[in-house]
Amino acid sequence: MSGPGPLAGLRILEVGHILAGPYATMLLADLGARVTKVEPPGGDLSRQVSDAYFASLNRGKRSVRLDLATPEGQERLHELVRDADALLVNLKPSAVRRYGLAYEALRPWNERLVCVALTGWGMDAGDEPAFDYVVQAATGIAALTGEPGGPPLLPGYSSADNSAGLTAALGLLAQVVSGRGGQIDVCLRDVMLSQLNYHAAAWLNDGKAPRRLGGAHAYYVPAQLFPTADGHLALFITHDGFWRSFAAEAGVEGYATMAERAARREEVIAAVTKALAADTAMRWEARLRPLGVPAAAVRTLPEALADTPEAVVEAGGHRLVGSPFRVAGYEPVYGPPPELGEHGDHV
């Protein structure tokens, strides 16, 4: 039998829209927190995308509809704040201030409230548009992605929004654990720069600018996608032991050390590409994994979900990917996404 979630009893308010903020609070709801969406009269914009889209970011939450531009909406907000542990806001800085959603504005109603502002560029940087793809372009992510000599590319999913949501959830919990109220600022730009860690360090310390390598790793060789007789294979050789096992199975000679493989990158890639052409991606995966070599055939999302049925859950009639957290003794209860204003309508 499942026990209470690790965040049972934690009461969180969310004033957010679309992805980053709602994703952060959904992860917390999956862990047992009670999350209440404070939605504007027209609701979270993601309700206009599709029911499944909204459910994928808002399962298990409550919804209160408030017009924060009115005195009545502000009064109800302050009532909710009195009983809350944290508030996560995913709006432009001017809107955070205009609606009184920062800690200093809400402190009179709850001194222990943890306030998280999740913005594009930071609370002091203005209201310039900061959607996921814009931030990826501005922080160097797009410039790193794609083939050498080709145009910059973007990942096929919202990496900046999702990463910022995870970071905001971590910052919220850190301040809650401290036992003190206060303001936490998280912005998409800083999150993505942080995730460029070793690339940034190489430039800042050694003057080495990252190159576009077609998805290949900057340091490890071979560590990239390779074509095979059928399909593509991801191979990630990070040390000499992996290389010895792979080379013996694939019939590749030489290049025994990491330093040699890095120095002779083009030769290594050519040799590995020739060897892998002898079999299919799925067969190479089956041959290499028992040897401990990190390798995987490239799958489509439908294929990946078919391979991991345990990751799929049901919430309010929607089939969704469940929580990434596995907590001993706790099985999440995936509630349905809320109807707009289902738990309070004060418009």
Active site members: 161
Query: Tokens 């996560």 correspond to what residue?
Result: 88
CA proximity to 101, closest of 345, 44, 90: 90
Edge-to-edge strands, sheet with 232-236: 223-227, 232-236, 295-297
DSSP secondary structure code for residue 339 in this structure: P
Q: Residues with Cβ < 8 Å from 35, sequence gap 6 or more?
A: 12, 13, 14, 25, 26, 28, 29, 60, 61, 62
Cα separation, 228 vs 274, in Å, equals 9
162 phi-psi bin (left φ>0, alpha ψ -120 to 50, beta other): alpha
Cα separation, 278 vs 294, in Å, equals 19
Alpha carbons within 13 A on the beta-carbon side of 166: 11
Over the Cα atoms of the chain, what is R_g?
A: 24
Proportion of the chain in helix, strand, coil states, percent, rounded to 5: 40, 15, 45
